[in-house]
Amino acid sequence: MKKKIALLAGGYTGESVVSMKSAAMVANSLDRNVYEVYQIVINKEKWVYINEHKVEFAIDKNDFTVIVNGQKLQFDVAFICIHGSPGEDGKLQGYLDMIGLPYTTCDAITSAITMNKAYTKSVIADLANVSVAKSMQVFANRRASEETILSNLTLPLFVKPNFGGSSIGMSRVNTPTELAPALQKAFKEDDQLIIEEFISGREFTIGVVRIDGKIWVLPATEVISSKEFFDFEAKYTTGLSEEITPGRMSEAEIAKVQEMAAAIYERLNCAGVVRIDYIINETGLIYVLEINTVPGQSENSIIPQQVRATGMDMTTFYGLLVTEALK
């Protein structure tokens, strides 16, 4: 009998449009000879199953079932494609744990930790081959003054929502006068910010997954943005960035990065596929920027690029993720 997959998309943030593209890619790639795929859209207004005719059926949140044509559908596994809240911050994982439905991502605790950029850095900072930029947290209910920030950190700076994704609300600050508008922009997205010193170097991102008990590090992707940094526009607008897979690294750098990526995956007790963003500076140090536990899966997203670079097709890869979730 075919396994019933609840393919979860949407979300509560500006990343919902990216989530829908990721879900479309996954839906088109999953083997329909093995799985029945049901797209579930979750947003602040509703949780619904949408069939091929665009008809909506309300999800019963008591047990995550849905009535279709008088029949009650129960799912075997959730394939989470929701970037940001509630699919990447542990909320949805906690709910699914309570109702006993397995899913394809990290668990609730790991998702919550990795969604908080500052907490993530404190957990991984002592690992071999891991460096982190000097930073400070700023909170909406007890804001540090601009003078305090500038006295503790050296320009240029990056101001980021602590729980954000896809670089939404992020700014680079090159001069003191740019700090106030950057803070204002970021606080529109989150009530906690992380402010980091700029790290000069080559930017990369790398996927990691555990299959059959073994951690598999995918080929890294080098990211070259035509903009000042790899922001939302550069990530999702054709022609504004160049992505090279495999990225241009020496054999020694590849070995260090693979060791770093596997160690982070293990330390954070990750599950499913995650993506680690990092910079290699001029002296060869690896600065970890953040860990994405629900990385993009659209046709041109980085994880599909990296999987294909290994010679594996996405149908096989997504099948492996589902199999792991069901163990």
pLDDT tier at 234 (50, 70, 90 boundaries)? very low
Top-tier CATH class for 112-131+200-293: alpha beta
Hey, what amino acid is at 255? A
Per-residue pLDDT at 325: 98
Top-tier CATH class for 3-104: alpha beta
**Any residues with CB less than 8 A from the CB of 30 and at least 6 apart, and which?**
5, 7, 37, 79, 315, 318, 319, 322
pLDDT of 11 over the 90 cut:
yes
Sheet holding 135-139, edge to edge: 135-139, 192-197, 157-161, 171-173
Domain edges within the chain:
3-104, 112-131+200-293, 135-197
**How much is the pTM?**
0.91
Instruction: Give alpha helix (H) positions in the chain.
Output: 16-29, 91-99, 108-115, 117-124, 146-152, 179-187, 232-236, 251-267, 302-309, 314-325
Beta-carbon neighbour count of residue 20 at 10 Å? 17
Stated as kind and residue range, the H or E segment containing 59 is strand 56-60
CA-based nearest residue to 159, from 150, 125, 280: 150
pLDDT of 152 over the 90 cut:
yes
Pairing mode, strands 214-217 and 202-211? antiparallel
In Å, the largest CA–CA distance within the chain is 65
Same fold, 112-131+200-293 and 135-197: no
Hey, what amino acid is at 197? E
pLDDT in tens, 166-214: 577 889 999 999 999 999 999 988 889 999 999 999 999 999 999 999 9
Top-tier CATH class for 135-197: alpha beta
Find out whether 30 and 5 touch, Cβ atoms under 8 Å. yes
pLDDT tier at 142 (50, 70, 90 boundaries)? confident
Per-residue pLDDT at 164: 64
Instruction: Report d(CA 171, CA 179) in Å as an integer.
Output: 9
Which residues are bridge partners to 66 per DSSP?
Answer: 59, 73
Reading the block at residue 235, the tokens are 């990530």
pLDDT in tens, 74-91: 999 999 999 999 999 999
Per-residue pLDDT at 239: 63
Which residues are bridge partners to 161 per DSSP?
Answer: 193
Burial of 229 (0-12, 13-18, 19+ CB in 10 A): middle
Alpha-carbon dihedral angle through residues 232, 162, 97, 16, given to the nearest 10 degrees = -20
Beta-carbon neighbour count of residue 306 at 10 Å? 27
Instruction: Report d(CA 317, CA 48) in Å as an integer.
Output: 27
Which residues are bridge partners to 95 per DSSP?
Answer: none
Hey, what amino acid is at 103? Y
Hey, what amino acid is at 169? G
pLDDT of 154 over the 80 cut:
yes
pLDDT of 231 over the 60 cut:
no
Beta-carbon neighbour count of residue 61 at 10 Å? 10
pLDDT of 237 over the 60 cut:
no
Find out whether 289 and 165 touch, Cβ atoms under 8 Å. no
pLDDT of 290 over the 70 cut:
yes
The number of residues making up the chain comes to 327
